Amino acid sequence: METSPILTRIIDQACGPLAERIEEQRMPAIMRVHPSVFGHIHDIRAREMADGYPLMFLGMELAPDARLPLEGFAFVD
């Protein structure tokens, strides 16, 4: 899996809907992503995870969701 382009696409796709939610004062608490994407971001942020911090991405906690396609995401309030 070529993860960097996938992460870039997910960020690009998420920014518009996220900006709309922020304007409406509805900042999501969690962003769900495919487990492979979650694993890659987890590896990048391993030090923070080892220190006991939640995995944060774009200002939200990140959670894996196997129901999502590889480049999919979902916000949770």
At 15-65, the pLDDT tens digits run 999 999 999 999 999 999 999 999 988 888 888 889 988 888 888 999 999
Model confidence pTM above 0.85: no
Residues 13 and 48 sit within 8 Å (Cβ to Cβ): no
3 confidence band (pLDDT: 50, 70, 90): low
- What pLDDT, on the 0 to 100 scale, is given for residue 71? 92
Closest to 17 measured CA to CA, from 4, 9, 7, 27: 27
Q: Are strands 60-64 and 30-33 parallel, antiparallel or unpaired?
A: parallel
Q: Token match 């942020």: residue? A: 45
Query: Domain range spanning residue 60?
Result: 3-76
Look up residue 70 and give its two tokens.
């590889």
* 11 pLDDT more than 50: yes
| Number of independent structural domains in the chain | 1
Alpha-helix runs per DSSP H in 1-77 = 3-23, 35-44, 46-50
- What pLDDT, on the 0 to 100 scale, is given for residue 1? 46
